[in-house]
Structure 1
C-alpha cells in the first residue's frame, strides 16, 4: 500500500498580479500558460487535470500536449471565490475587514464569496478522482486546501506556505475511507 503520488502545480502569472483573483477568468501573461520549468521532464505524468479558469487551463493544455497525455478539466480545482472582492487589490479593502477574513475565513467570507470550508469540501471531493502521477494545474488556494484536507492543518498553517506562481507540490495520498496524505516534495522558486 504505497498510495498514489499526485502533483499540484500553481499556474503561471496572470496578466494582472497582486489582485484577489478567485473565479475571475484572468488570462495568463504568457499565452502558453507560463509553466515552463515547473514540471521537470523526468517527472512521470499520467494525466493532466486543470481548473477551468484560463490562467490555469492555458498551461495545462500546453503541458498535456507536450507530454502526450489526456487533459481533464475539473471546476472543483478553481480558486476560492472572492465574491465582491474579485479583482480588487487587497490593500484597497478595509484593513479590519481583510484581517477578519484571514483570521476566520468561514465566519468572515468575502461578501457574495465562498467560505474556506466550501473550498476544502470541493477539493476533498476531487482528490479521490486523481490517478497516480496526475498533475493538477490549479491555484494557490486549492493547493492549500488539498494540504489542509490531507494533513489536518488549519487555514492559518497552510496559508503560511509560500506558493509562488509555478510552484510544484507533490503529495502521496494513502488509500482508505478518508483522505490521508503526506507532502513528499514542495518545489518553489523555480526558474522562470
Structure 2
C-alpha cells in the first residue's frame, strides 16, 4: 500500500496579491515562510520513504525547512496548471477582460485559461505521476511526501473521487501548506491544516 501525502506550498507573494500564478510566479511571502516552518514542525511526526516535488520556486522554498539533507526527487508533472497569459495578472484584471471565460471555468467547464492547460490535461499528467509512484517497487517506498500546488491536488482528489474533468472546482481550494492524503486510490484526508492559518 502506498500513501501519498500532498503538501501545498506556502503563501507566495502572488498569492498575497491575488494574482494568477500557473507555472510562473514568485517565492514565498513572509507569511508563507512562517507557514512552511509550521508545516515542517507538523511533518516531524511522519516518516517518509521518499519526497517528490514540483520544481517551481514556491514549492522548493516551502520544503526547505523540512527537508534538510534528505533527497528530493524533482518531478515537473507536479507543477501547477499552466494558465498561459493569465500568469501574473490579478483576478480582477482577468475578470474585467475575460468575464465569460472566468464564469465558464467557475461553473465547471474545462476551459484552457489564458490559452494554457485544461484540467483534463493536468489530470493526465498528475495521474501519470501518481501511477509511477504507486507502481514503482524498486525504491520500496510506502509513504511519499509530494510538494505541489492547488491545481494538482484538486486534480488528484477529483480523479480518485471519479469527478469529470472541470469539476475539480467543486472541491474547496487547498489552503497554503495544507495536506491531502491518498491511500490505495482512496481520499482519506483533504485540506488538512498544518499550522499557521491561511
**TM superposition score normalised by structure 2:** 0.81
Q: Aligned to 2:113, what secondary structure does the other structure show?
A: coil
Residue 53 of structure 1 aligns with which residue? 56
What is the aligned length? 180
Q: Aligned to 1:16, what secondary structure does the other structure show?
A: helix
Closer, same or farther: CA 158–16 of 1 in aligned 2, 3 Å: closer
Residue 160 of structure 1 pairs with residue 171 of structure 2: yes
In structure 1, C-alpha distance between the alignment counterparts of 2:113 and 2:38, rounded to whole Å: 34
Alignment of 1:60-71 (within 5 A): 60-65=63-68, 68-71=69-72
Structure richer in helix, relative to its length: 2
Answer whether contact 2:25 2:87 (CA < 8 A) is retained. no
In structure 1, C-alpha distance between the alignment counterparts of 2:107 and 2:55, rounded to whole Å: 29
**TM superposition score normalised by structure 1:** 0.83
In structure 2, C-alpha distance between the alignment counterparts of 1:159 and 1:140, rounded to whole Å: 13
Structure 2 alignment gaps of length 5 or more: 134-140
Residue 73 of structure 1 aligns with which residue? 74
40, 43, 48: which one aligns with 2:46? 43
Residue 147 of structure 1 aligns with which residue? 157
Alignment of 1:100-179 (within 5 A): 100-106=104-110, 108-130=111-133, 131-154=141-164, 155-156=166-167, 159-173=170-184
Structure 1 alignment gaps of length 5 or more: 174-180
Q: Aligned to 1:81, what secondary structure does the other structure show?
A: coil
81, 86, 96: which one aligns with 2:100? 96
Residue 188 of structure 2 aligns with which residue? 184
CA drift at 1:189: 3.8
RMSD between aligned residues: 2.1
In structure 2, C-alpha distance between the alignment counterparts of 1:10 and 1:41, rounded to whole Å: 17
Answer whether contact 1:47 1:64 (CA < 8 A) is retained. no
